[in-house]
Structure 1
Amino acid sequence: MKAENISDASSRAYQFLRERIVAAGLKPGSRISEHDIAAELGMSRTPVHDAVLRLATEQLIEVRPRAGTFVTRIAPAALEEALLVRGALELMVVEKAAERAGIDALAGLRAVLARQSDAAREGDVAAFRQLGDEFHAALAAAAGMPGVWSLVRQPKTHLDRYRMLVSPAPGRMTAALLEHGDILRAVETRHPGRAAQAMRTHLRHLVPGLNVALALKPEYVTAR
């Protein structure tokens, strides 16, 4: 196999494993067999091993010498850190969006929100969450800062993992839609302060309290 092909295979293995971990197809604490993954993807173990090492640097996989390779459990400290980073960046983004959003950007935000409303009505949690991400990415684009969403995505990985393990609280999708609507109205009416306040409210409700996390899914969460 040529070096270029190994690189492509490593990227494919990385995306495959990362998506399964974030989507909770591979649960926190579960063992990973490089041999089985390689067989499933139709490749040698080398690119799978490279992918595992890469994911270990992102704290999604833990390699324990003489014990095995495991999906990391979710640390409440990582959730707190992700909320802090996301909050700081998204407050800046939404204020700039309120100052800069053009007609096309506003139309795009409305379209995403309409599709998210459809997903909520249909009870499609996966689509609802994906469209929520699209809404936030569209805000960054409206602010003229599309690259900021890429900075948000890495720390929010831990939030995404947790949210996939815990079903939305009753009424949460409806509430999130209302919060997105408040954000959009503040952006449309050019009120950066109101937009930032609406975003703060929304981010506070993204996940339940971290102590609740320990009670709901103790087998998936670390003690600290």
Structure 2
Amino acid sequence: MSESYNLTNSLPVNQQIYHFLRKDIVDCTIPPGTLLSEKEISTRFCVSRQPVREAFIKLAEAGLVQILPQRGTFVMKISAKRVADGRFIRQALECAIVRRAATSITPEQLLALEHNLHRQTLAAQNNQIREFLALDDEFHYLLTQIANCTLAWETIETIKATMDRVRFLSLSEVSPPESLIEQHYLIFEALKGRDPDAAERAIHEHLQEMIYSITPIALQNTDWFEAE
């Protein structure tokens, strides 16, 4: 786990530990099969084991770890089936979100999206993969804000945890940032034109990317995927 992680007063301790561990699992810092130690993590953050245990439960709900009684908590391999199911659910949610956003978006909100896209471009140009992924998430989070449905983001963030591992592995020749940015701009232009149909088509195509990338990524990283 990164040495730069420090607890703050901004969120409950269990949520912060969950986010730290989630990030390290998603960006492949912690590989599948790794045993996560309650004792080691509680010592690292100078907390009791209870918030660590709660973080593990939330990670299990997101499909990132498996808690085995008397054996421990292990980072799971990626399930292609879970990725496909998550993409299906996320696509349904986000298509509805952009339709609503297209009818209510303000000039200020368009500027916020455009600023985000400029930062995405800079991150891609500088090969800052983790920064790009964070900005990608921010773009989709902003859509839920524009649609006045931030609760949807909480659902999306949970179901996309396994998808995010594939996203990180695919940010090369399979799904380079530049192509994802182009797709984001298509969504942005549809919102700018206040066209719900075009916005829905654009985000539908954007999220279809996961279907095309999962097979080559699984073939390139067989040790990371479950045999299904």
TM-score normalised by length of structure 2: 0.85
Residue 12 of structure 1 and its aligned partner are, at CA, apart by: 4.2
Which range moves more in the overlay, 30-39 or 90-99?
A: 30-39
Instruction: Give yes or no for the alignment of 1:156 onto 2:160.
Output: yes
Amino acid at match of 1:211: T
Q: Residue 17 in 1 paired to residue 4 in 2?
A: no
How far residue 11 of structure 1 moved from its aligned partner, in angstroms, is 4.1
2:30 aligned counterpart, secondary structure: coil
Larger radius of gyration: 1
The answer (yes or no) to whether the contact 1:21–1:27 under 8 Å persists in 2 is yes
Amino acid at match of 1:187: L
Counterpart in the other structure of 2:130: 126
Match of 1:31 in 2: 35
Cα distance in 2, alignment partners of residues 180 and 9 from structure 1: 34
Structure 1 pair 50–130 and aligned structure 2 pair: CA distance change class (3 A): closer
- Evaluate the alpha carbon distance shift between residue 208 and residue 36 of structure 1 in structure 2; reply closer, same or farther with a 3 A threshold: farther
- Asked if 2 retains the 8 angstrom alpha-carbon contact of 1:179 and 1:198, the reply is yes
Q: Structure 1: 5+ residue runs without aligned partners?
A: 1-6
User: Per-residue displacement from partner, 1:152-174 (whole Å, max 9, x unpaired)?
Assistant: 11101111122224443267211
| 2:136 counterpart of 1:97 | no
Q: In the TM superposition, what is the alpha-carbon distance from 1:214 to its structure 2 partner?
A: 2.5
Confirm or deny: 8 A CA contact 1:105 1:141 kept in the other structure. Answer: no
**CA RMSD between the two structures:** 2.2
Note if contact 1:62-1:71 (Cα within 8 Å) is conserved in structure 2: yes
Answer whether contact 2:109 2:146 (CA < 8 A) is retained: yes
AA paired with 1:131?
L
1:60 alignment counterpart: 64
| TM-score using structure 1 length | 0.86
Percent identity reads 29
Aligned-partner residue type, residue 138 of structure 2:
E
Q: Distance in 2 between matches of 1:67 and 1:145?
A: 40
Which residue of structure 1 aligns with residue 116 of structure 2?
112
**Residue 199 of structure 2: which of 195, 198, 208 is its match?**
195
Where do residues 194-213 of structure 1 align in structure 2 (5 Å cutoff)? 194-206=198-210, 208-213=212-217
2:218 aligns to what SS in structure 1? helix
